[in-house]
Amino acid sequence: MTHTAPSPVQTLNTTLGFVRIVDIKPEGQATLEFQAGPHMCHSGGVVQGGFVTGWIDAAMAHAAMAMAGPDVVPMSLELKVSFFAPARPGLVTAKAWVERRGRSTCFFEGQLLDASGKVLAKASSTLMLADKTRVEQASSKAVADTQ
């Protein structure tokens, strides 16, 4: 029996508690659902802020890929998150949309909502739309250099 290791995307999705893509629109919008678990929490049953940031960031990346197409990798240049209320274990929804699109640099916004629709956090991001082939080549070279 041959065992195939999960891809980095599968592993990342598992770590983030990815549930499903709710909606994707080519004009640069995405809505994703995640399951926040107790293992993601620190004191008081509050989800650690890195997960909240990751969920919104993932939605913004999906919105960018929907807008720019499969030959582009969105690379974060800047990411700012404001936390309004604690995220707790349960289903959360990350929504993202493009605010302004440039040729290679775009500005996205997003938010995280709990199951009742309460906004828990908002984020803004500056993304560079990088050529996928160049990113993959650089990644392959970096891996080869470490071996």
- Average pLDDT of span 81-88: 98
Residue 2 domain-assigned? no
Give backbone dihedrals phi and psi of 79, rounded to 5 degrees, phi first: -145, 125
| pLDDT at position 107 over 80 | yes
Tell me, yes or no, whether 49 lies in a domain.
yes
Average pLDDT over residues 73-98: 97
What is the DSSP annotation of 77-142?
Answer: EEEEEEE-S---SEEEEEEEEEEEE-SSEEEEEEEEE-TT--EEEEEEEEEEEEEHHHHHHHHHHH
Does the residue 56 lie in any domain? yes
Task: Please enumerate, as own/partner, the contacts of 41-45 that have beta carbons within 8 Å and a separation of 24 or more.
Answer: 41/88, 41/89, 44/86, 45/88, 45/89
129 belongs to a structural domain: yes
Please give the tally of structural domains in the chain.
1
Instruction: Report the predicted TM-score, pTM, of the whole model to 2 decimal places.
Output: 0.90
Among 110, 49, 47, which Cα is nearest to 76's? 110
Average pLDDT estimate for 20-35: 98
CB-CB contact of 54 with 89 (8 Å): no
The residue type found at 31 is T
Q: How large is the angle between the packed helices 49-68 and 8-16, nearest 10 degrees?
A: 130
What sign for the dihedral angle of Cα 94, 81, 58, 30?
positive
Residue-wise pLDDT for 93-106, tens only, equals 999 999 999 999 99
Within a domain: 100: yes
Kindly state the percentage of the chain with pLDDT values over 70. Answer: 97
Name the average pLDDT for the chain: 93
Q: What is the CATH number of the domain that holds 59?
A: 3.10.129.10
Give the model's pLDDT for residue 3.
64
Q: Is residue 102 part of a domain?
A: yes
Residue 1 lies in a domain: no
Q: Does some domain include residue 3? A: no
Which of the four pLDDT bands, split at 50, 70 and 90, describes residue 143?
A: confident
Q: Which domain holds residue 68?
A: 8-146
Burial annotation 81-99 (CB, 10 A radius, 16+ → b, else e)? beeeeebbbeebbbbbbbe
